[in-house]
Amino acid sequence: MEVTMAGALNTALRDAMRADDTVVVYGEDVGRLGGVFRITDGLQAELGVDRCFDTPVAESGIVGTAIGMAMYGLRPVVEMQFDGFSYPALNQIISHVGKYRNRSRGRVGLPLVIRIPYGGGIGAVEHHSESPEAYYAHTAGLTVVSPGTPADAYALLRASIEHEDPVIFLEPKRRYWLKADLELPVTAPPIGKAVVRRTGTTATVIAYGPMVTTALEAATRAEESGWDLEVVDVRTLSPLDIDTLVTSASKTGRALVVHEAARFAGYGAEIAADVSERAFGYLAAPVLRVTGWDIPYPPAKIERHFLPDADRILDAVARLLEY
Amino acid sequence: MEVTMAGALNTALRDAMRADDTVVVYGEDVGRLGGVFRITDGLQAELGVDRCFDTPVAESGIVGTAIGMAMYGLRPVVEMQFDGFSYPALNQIISHVGKYRNRSRGRVGLPLVIRIPYGGGIGAVEHHSESPEAYYAHTAGLTVVSPGTPADAYALLRASIEHEDPVIFLEPKRRYWLKADLELPVTAPPIGKAVVRRTGTTATVIAYGPMVTTALEAATRAEESGWDLEVVDVRTLSPLDIDTLVTSASKTGRALVVHEAARFAGYGAEIAADVSERAFGYLAAPVLRVTGWDIPYPPAKIERHFLPDADRILDAVARLLEY
Amino acid sequence: MTTDAATASSGTSSFRGLAQAAWQDVAAEGALGPVIEHPVDLSTEQLRSLYRLMALARRVDRQAINLTRQGALGVYASSMGQEAAQVGAVFALEKNDWLFPSYRDSLGTFARGVDIVEILALFSGSWHCAFDPYEHLVAPQATPVTTQALHATGLAMAARLRHDPIVALTFFGDGAASEGDAHEAMNMAGVYQAPVIFVVQNNQYAISVPFRMQTHTSSIALRAAGCGIPGIRLDGNDVLSVYAAVRVAVDRARSGGGPTLIEAMTFRIEAHTTADDQSRYRTEDEVAEGRKRDPLERFLGVLREGGAVDDAYLAEVDAEAEALAARMRDSLFGAPAGDPREMFDHVYATLTPQLEAQRALLHQEMQAAVDP
Amino acid sequence: MTTDAATASSGTSSFRGLAQAAWQDVAAEGALGPVIEHPVDLSTEQLRSLYRLMALARRVDRQAINLTRQGALGVYASSMGQEAAQVGAVFALEKNDWLFPSYRDSLGTFARGVDIVEILALFSGSWHCAFDPYEHLVAPQATPVTTQALHATGLAMAARLRHDPIVALTFFGDGAASEGDAHEAMNMAGVYQAPVIFVVQNNQYAISVPFRMQTHTSSIALRAAGCGIPGIRLDGNDVLSVYAAVRVAVDRARSGGGPTLIEAMTFRIEAHTTADDQSRYRTEDEVAEGRKRDPLERFLGVLREGGAVDDAYLAEVDAEAEALAARMRDSLFGAPAGDPREMFDHVYATLTPQLEAQRALLHQEMQAAVDP
Ligand SMILES: Cc1ncc(C[n+]2csc(CCOP(=O)(O)OP(=O)(O)O)c2C)c(N)n1
Ligand SMILES: Cc1ncc(C[n+]2csc(CCOP(=O)(O)OP(=O)(O)O)c2C)c(N)n1
Ligand SMILES: [Mg+2]
Ligand SMILES: [Mg+2]
């Protein structure tokens, strides 16, 4: 049946809560309203206010209390209403969420999930279209996941909730309405595995989250130019499945990484740097980065000129082929 | 005369406050105590409590109020007591400090400086040895500076205070006692310029902040092995003077970047990725990264096994030469 | 070794010194005083302009909602029902004072004299903040809740350091008051006796979350005591009380008396934004109840009773309101997006080499788009 | 359009409805009640063990300072003068309750039963937290101030959700109370009626910053009213008052009555840490004054008066304290650093391929170091 990414996420939460009564969902407006994107729709009605509840407007408080809940033995799944509003929680995330297991010599793990709708393309006002993945990916102790398809949205969220370590779960909000023909529950490769979405020979396009769709679109259009692109979906930003990326890049000899976030010191730099190092000698061209510009996210009316699209990807492929 | 980096910073603040009465210094314990590292020692006594004052323990409050002060027309220079305690201010820094000029269509610039003693090697407890530069460097709108020498400490801090845009000023705390023979005031290349500290031909070592000293030490030791290393001091992490780095790397054909911060999605990834792209064809080996491990900063007794040292750099040089 | 203490409490020592403790309890009830009446010293002229601003604000708000339905705006956060709180507070400011509004406070920003079309750029998506903050001394409307309270505090601290007799007023909501920044702002304002006024519009909701689930306290104004600053709680739908109380706070701040926290009890009549579906979390009856306390109707009633306005004046205001609404429609409909390349121009005071290069890339992309 | 309002206040409307405002003022004085006496129900046995813990804590603290001077510890944050606040509060907890201490609360952690040598690993730099938090239900001592208050609140929320009759107690300081997290924790605890007790040790200083410069309020306890939770202010150097008040709060929380904020007025006799030079910000006289209110001396005095202890018992405690001090010296002096490779082992539940590779690199470096 047809499932949207939003529907898959909602079902994943419901199934996880039914399967394990230690799973607790909370955040701003996730209860009665079902979340501003309705990802938690119906959970409070079905599982009760003790399992899914609203919070005051206090992100540090939401994440900080989730740490205590996880210490107690629950599996909190909290929502940051938008990417830009996860920043007030950064101190709790960097100073504690990522460090607690290590600090306590392995005795206190924190099985919690922080869900963050992220990225642009929905015509929102400032602070509602941020791509903060680099901040999280650079923070040791965190597991950072971002699904690019409805199936992965379900499978990876279920896996994240069952994960023994804290997961930053980045939901590509502009793809919430992306549809797929699925029967839920669906399984998928585990956290920590990248997946080749399309095999090809001309060049490797590495993407994640919202850009997976864009990369596949570019690959389809590339055929007109006689280019056969391989598309790799990163899925887990940290820990990164570098081997799958290097294997693909070594095979095609050309690779680029695409993301919405600003380029400078962005997540793509890690992929470009590590692939360049490990595939050195197999690369006919440098690893290129196709990204948003090094500026604050622009106003809605001009955001499409910020966001990487198939054209920008294909321009980069053309440059890859000039080497 | 002999000047320590701490002394140079203290003199820079004093000279800036004397030269411009809109410069205001505040933060936790910066007044009567003169700061836990004494960088603000004597400023309150000389310039008065209206020019240098203590704050409550509230980093978001310190940075948030600095924004308002800068809007008013002052030039606040605030101190985050330690790297790990700059995180509560991240929301104000990412959501406002970096975005205000752009948000207001260029009408409201924020000439403020956020001083952060950073990095390890001083035997401190947890949260006092963080290297957060990647978080700041990835944030558009910020200017990120880190001196590696007493002379730069003075000149770059003066330049940062005079800068029209907000500056994250990262002070390598383990080098506070690093000495140099100087007459203050001293001038130096402006913000945005990297500097070649040592010319060489074997390979390029790119460093900043605390690692500049370590890189130079490695270069000296490298002579024993007959290696002639070129050492480039980045000085300004953002905006980065990539040309100077690419020129050096293209010349030597081999380059590595060194920093204390964790490697994964760290600042070194940007340098490695961009140098790999721009110097492609001139590089005999991939750009290597010599960094801290991808773990939370370890306890004091074993921190030396985390921190990059001359040995780790020389191992990497040897690997560079194997290609 | 701690358990025995908790259990057996037998054989308590007979010696008084070993059987006695002492402490002070905090009695919240004690803190909130009775409702006290205060005189208002507005001339008929002023009362009329106060009404005029509220009436224009109401029309502007309705028009913004319509323009959103018609697609001229992407989204809009209505202040319907909060006109008294926003306009009344702003009315107490002097020309050189500063206002730090949030996304909710378009009407307060309008009352400050900022052009409504420029205000709505935030919601049309043409630019984050289109007006010049230095022209009317109004900061960009903040989206991350409560963050602006610290900016207002900082600006007020600066004014005090420079012996400049101005004040800063900031608006935030009952939900925003739960953020740590609210506490840090009020506490620092108290420490430095900064001339800043915190006006909390308690409109009973934070999107879908009702006030009683936002905090366990009966009044946000009580937080003033925790920071050692004056606190006031009032009917935010009574524009004269809002004006008069804010005026007291403004005068106190200006004369070196420091900050004040004012909780204005009001009600958000419309949905949180045009994108919100309030039927999911509150009944029409509840909203209907709220409408009954309409601050504009209420003020108009008193003005009529007091003979401060006549039909001629009201007709004048109506006409002005309609003209304003028409201008909004004309200016915001199909307003062209600005030049996308401008997105690079204000990141730094001077364009960096990186941004210059990226700007050129975007330029190429745009060229390629017109003639592929 | 706003200025005319501010200026000319002539010709005020004569109509009452247009010349009248009304509001409620917050009267901080009203909130803080009088000092009231309460009975304490401790048996002589319990009084003795309370004293014993305080006396041992005092010795442990002094020894830790010495060990720092001698280099066995890198730094230490002394609690000298705060034994009553820390030990008295912990004494009111049951076995299954949780404690969330800060770097300052080594003595409270010790009173909870955690081995002092393991506690001091934090300061010797052998590991961030060496003790098992689940053994005595004590969280690692938090270094970023106030962050632990939210962890305690979350754990208490979880206990309430699971109908588990336990409570969480967290300590933080007068400076820490200025952080936004303090407000978010107390407000959320109120909303969910979480069984958590916030014990603020107001020791008058945040490193060099005196309480009067930390906030403009006379009492942090007043913040309880702002979150709608019970608040208590007491003499933190009177161990019986600390114990009894915390006990009241613990019992209330355990029976579903929600959180309590307790401000324990005390004094930090030593410097902020062994690395701090307090002569830069306070006089010896001030510290001498503080010493006079020594909580241990004071309690001992009452115990003697009440005949609850005799010289034999005191000698016993002294001996135990000396033995403890000796064990600290023996265990902490030249304690070997652990295996550096362990730094990789607890980052994730299972070692990632990346970390395995990096662990191998470190292993090589260490091998090369022993035989280059
Ligand atoms: C820091 C932050 N967190 C979350 C949000 C998302 N958000 C927008 S409005 C809102 C509710 C705010 O309620 P309140 O403060 O009462 O203001 P109101 O909308 O009622 O005027 C929330 C949670 C935000 N804008 N900023
Ligand atoms: C978030 C954070 N900011 C700053 C610091 C640095 N710091 C350590 S102790 C301290 C003062 C805390 O004072 P208080 O809360 O009164 O506790 P006390 O030390 O007096 O027990 C500061 C500012 C910190 N540890 N955490
Ligand atoms: Mg509200
Ligand atoms: Mg203190």
Average pLDDT, consecutive stretches of 10 residues, N- to C-terminus, chain A (323 residues): 97 98 98 98 98 98 99 98 98 98 98 98 98 98 98 98 98 98 97 98 98 98 98 98 98 98 98 98 98 98 98 98 97
pLDDT band of C276, cuts 50, 70, 90: very high
**Burial of residue A299 (number of CB atoms within 10 Å: 0-12, 13-18, 19+):** buried
**Cβ–Cβ < 8 Å for D93, D169:** yes
Concerning whether D281 is annotated as a catalytic residue, the answer is yes
Residue D266 has pLDDT above 50, yes or no: yes
Enumerate the β-bridge partners of residue B257: B206, B289
Q: Contact, B100 vs C189, CB < 8 A? A: no
Mean pLDDT (chain B, rounded): 98
Of C247-251, C335-339, D36-40, the range with the lowest mean pLDDT is C335-339
Cα angle at C165 between C162 and C167, to 5 degrees? 105
pLDDT given for residue A193 in this prediction: 98
B305 and B275 in contact (C-beta within 8 Å)?
no
φ, ψ at D325 (rounded to 5°): -60, -40
- C60: contact with D, CB 8 A cutoff: no
Q: Which residues have a Cβ under 8 Å from the Cβ of A34 and sit 6 or more positions away?
A: A40, A41, A42, A43, A44, C280
What is the pLDDT at residue D5?
Answer: 42
Flag whether pLDDT at D15 surpasses 70: yes
pLDDT at B218 over 90: yes
Question: In this predicted structure, what is the pLDDT of residue D8?
Answer: 41
**Residue A58 burial (CB count, 10 A):** 33
Q: Write the pLDDT tens digit of every residue in D131-143.
A: 999 999 999 999 9
CA distance C47 to C32: 30
Calculate mean pLDDT across residues B258-277: 98
CB contact under 8 A, C207 and A32: no
Q: Which of C62, C183, C192, C281 is catalytic?
A: C281
Is residue D9 predicted with pLDDT exceeding 80? no
Q: Which two tokens stand for residue C98?
A: 């500063």
What's the one-letter identity of residue C75?
A: V
Whether residues B91 and A87 touch (CB distance < 8 A) is answered with yes
Helix (H, G, I), strand (E, B) or coil at D122: helix
Of C151, C233, C272, C293, the catalytic one is C272
What three-state secondary structure class fits A139? Answer: coil
Q: In angstroms, rounded to a whole number, what is the distance separating the alpha carbons of residues A34 and A53? A: 10
Structure tokens at A184: 């839920």
Among candidate residues D230, D255, D303, D237, the one with its CA nearest the CA of residue D89: D237
**C227-233 mean pLDDT:** 97
* Section C137-159 average pLDDT: 98
C97 pLDDT exceeds 60?
Answer: yes
Residue D3 has pLDDT above 60, yes or no: no
Q: Which atom of ligand 2 lies at the shortest distance from residue B127's CA?
A: 25
Which residue in the set A58, A302, A311 is minimally distant from C340, CB to CB? Answer: A302
Contacts of B13 (CB under 8 A, 6+ apart): B25, B39, B40, B43, B77, B157
Contacts with D280 from chain B: Cβ below 8 Å: 32-34
Whose structure tokens read 């590292």?
Answer: B37
What is the Cβ-side half-sphere exposure of residue B100, based on CA atoms within 13 angstroms? Answer: 26
Q: How far is B322 from chain A (nearest CA, A)?
A: 13
SS3 assignment, position B57:
coil
pLDDT per residue over C190-218, tens digit each? 999 999 999 999 999 999 999 999 999 99
Per-residue burial over B171-193, b if 16 or more Cβ lie within 10 Å, else e, is bbbbbbebebebebebebbebbe
Quick check: D188 and A107 CB within 8 A? no
Q: CA of C346, closest CA in chain A: separation in Å? A: 9
Would you say residue B63 has pLDDT above 80?
Answer: yes
Q: Mean pLDDT over all residues of chain D?
A: 95
Ligand 1 pocket: which of A32, A55, A57, A130 to mutate (most atoms within 8 A of CB)? A57
Helices (H), chain D: 3-6, 28-31, 44-69, 83-91, 106-111, 116-119, 121-124, 133-136, 147-161, 180-191, 211-214, 223-226, 239-254, 284-292, 295-305, 311-332, 353-370
Dihedral-angle region of residue C89 (phi above 0 means left; psi in -120 to 50 means alpha; beta otherwise):
alpha
On the question of a cis peptide bond just before residue C353, with omega within 30 degrees of 0, the verdict is no
Task: Look at residue C11 in the predicted model and tell me its pLDDT.
Answer: 67
Helices A242-252 and A267-278 meet at what angle, rounded to 10?
A: 60
- pLDDT given for residue C372 in this prediction: 66
Would you say residue C101 has pLDDT above 80? yes
Name the pLDDT band for C71 (thresholds 50, 70, 90).
very high
pLDDT reported for residue C16:
86
Chains near C (3 or more Cβ pairs under 8 Å): A, B, D
Q: Residue D334: left (phi > 0), alpha (psi -120 to 50), or beta?
A: left
Identity of the residue in C121, C143, C176 whose CB atom sits nearest the CB atom of A127: C143
Which of D157, D339, D345, D359 to substitute to test the interface with A, most A CBs within 10 Å?
D157
CA distance linking residue D276 with residue C291, whole number of Å = 60
Task: Tell me whether C208 touches chain A (CB under 8 Å).
Answer: yes
The residues, ordered by sequence, that sit 6+ positions from D45 with a Cβ below 8 Å of its Cβ are: C4, C8, C11
Spatial separation of the C-alpha atoms in residues A187 and D343, rounded to whole Å: 34
CB contact under 8 A, D125 and B29: no
Ligand 1 atom closest to residue C174's alpha carbon, by position in its atom list: 16
3-state secondary structure of A171: strand
- Ligand 1: does its nearest atom lie under 6 Å from the Cβ of C145? yes
Ligand 1 atom at shortest distance from the alpha carbon of C177 = 15
Give the C-alpha distances (Å, rounded to integers) separating C141 from A234, B180, D180. Answer: 37, 48, 22
Question: In angstroms, rounded to a whole number, what is the distance separating the alpha carbons of residues D98 and D152?
Answer: 8
DSSP per position, B188-231:
-PPTT--EEEE--SSEEEEE-TTHHHHHHHHHHHHGGGT--EEE
* Structural tokens at position B233: 């001091």
Residue of B nearest to C98 (CA): B72
- CA of B223, closest CA in chain A: separation in Å? 26
CA atoms within 13 A on the CB side of B108: 26
Cβ–ligand 1 contact at C176 (below 6 Å): yes
Exposure string of B291-319, with b = 16+ CB inside 10 Å and e = fewer, is bbbbbbbbbbbbbebbbbbbebbbbbbee
Q: How many CB atoms lie within 10 A of CB B243?
A: 12
Query: Residue D7: is its pLDDT beyond 70?
Result: no
- For residues B186, B192, B198, B201, the Cα torsion angle rounded to the nearest 10 degrees is -160
Q: Which ligand has an atom closest to residue D175 CA?
A: 2
Alpha-carbon span A316 to D77, nearest angstrom:
57
* Cβ proximity of C232 and C198 under 8 Å: no
**CA-based torsion, D352, D354, D358, D361: positive or negative:** positive
B positions 69-88 inside 8 Å of C (CB): 69-74, 76
Averaged pLDDT, C19-28: 90
| pLDDT score recorded for residue D372 | 66
Q: How far is CA D372 from each of CA B222, B291, B303, B311, B320, rounded to the nearest angstrom?
A: 16, 21, 21, 11, 20
- Read off the pLDDT of residues D160-185 as tens digits, 9 standing for 90 and up: 999 999 999 999 999 999 999 999 99
CA distance A172 to A176: 7
Q: Which pLDDT score is estimated for D28?
A: 77
Q: Does B265 touch chain D (CB under 8 A)?
A: no
| Residue B109: count of CB within 10 angstroms of its CB | 18
Please determine, for residue C8, whether its predicted confidence score (pLDDT) is greater than 90: no
The amino acid that residue A39 corresponds to is I
Q: What band does C2 get if pLDDT is binned at 50, 70 and 90?
A: very low
The question of whether D51 is a catalytic residue gets the answer no
Whether A219 and A231 have beta carbons less than 8 Å apart is answered as yes
Q: How far apart are the first and last CA of chain C?
A: 81
pLDDT, position D30: 75
Q: Cα–Cα distance between A277 and B286 in angstroms, integer?
A: 5
Atom 4, ligand 1: residue with shortest CA distance? A85
Secondary structure, 3-state, chain C? CCHHHHCCCCCECCCHHHCEEEEEEECHHHHEEEEEEEECCCEHHHHHHHHHHHHHHHHHHHHHHHHHHCCCCCCCCCCCCCHHHHHHHHHCCCCCCEEECECCCHHHHHHCCCCHHHHCHHHHCCCCCCCCHHHHCECCCECCCCHHHHHHHHHHHHHHHCCCCCCEEEEEECCHHHCHHHHHHHHHHHHCCCCEEEEEEECCEECCEEHHHHCCCCCHHHHHHHCCCCEEEEECCCHHHHHHHHHHHHHHHHCCCCCEEEEEECCCCCCCCCCCCHHHCCCHHHHHHHHHCCHHHHHHHHHHHCCCCCHHHHHHHHHHHHHHHHHHHHHHCCCCCCCHHHHHCCCCCCCCHHHHHHHHHHHHHHHHHHCC
ipTM surpassing 0.95, yes or no? Answer: yes
Query: What average pLDDT does range D87-108 have in this prediction?
Result: 98
Counting as contact any 3 or more CB pairs under 8 A, the partners of B are: A, C, D
Mean pLDDT of D359-369: 96
- Cβ D224 vs Cβ D230: under 8 Å: yes
Chain D residues whose beta carbon lies within 8 Å of the beta carbon of residue A55: 188, 191
Q: Is the CB of D200 under 6 A from ligand 2?
A: no
Q: Which of C215-219, C314-318, D17-21 has the lowest mean pLDDT?
A: D17-21
Contact between C28 and D260 under an 8 Å Cβ cutoff? The reply is no
Per-residue pLDDT at C173 exceeds 70: yes
Residue-level pLDDT at C28: 77
Q: Cα B305 to chain center, whole Å? A: 22
The phi-psi region of residue B139 (left if phi > 0; otherwise alpha if psi is between -120 and 50; otherwise beta) is beta
CB-CB neighbours of B30 under 10 Å: 30
To 10 degrees, what angle do helices B310-322 and B211-222 make?
A: 60
